[in-house]
Amino acid sequence: MERKSTVKSIEVLYNEIAGSAELQNELKAASDETKLIEFLKKHGCDADVKEFKAFVRSQSEGEIEDDDTAAIAGGVTILTTYSPAASPLEIL
């Protein structure tokens, strides 16, 4: 298995999940590793669970948005949920 094609498969599926409430619900239903592997295979992704979760985490890491910096200014912690279409990481 070539690593590059696996990552592309994960990226394509990640984008499909992000844009589809139906896929997000299906992913939520994949409550254990066996079901997650079945979900990945069903949607043409040859990655294993570890690769998929690592990719999802890497997509969730990034710069802090201006709205987020306002929430932490002054030492106040405010927890909010950001979900234009729920992040696959929130589902995992």
Looking at residue 9, its amino acid is: S
> What pTM does this model have?
0.60
Tell me how far apart the alpha carbons of residues 63 and 77 are, in angstroms, rounded to a whole number. Answer: 17
Alpha helices in 1-92 (DSSP H): 3-18, 21-29, 33-42, 49-60, 66-72, 88-91
Intra-chain end-to-end CA distance of the chain, in Å: 25
Digitized pLDDT (tens) for each residue of the chain, 92 residues in all: 455 555 568 999 999 999 999 999 999 999 899 999 999 999 989 899 999 989 888 887 765 555 555 555 444 455 555 555 556 666 66
Name the token pair of 84: 């234009």
Predicted pLDDT of residue 87: 62
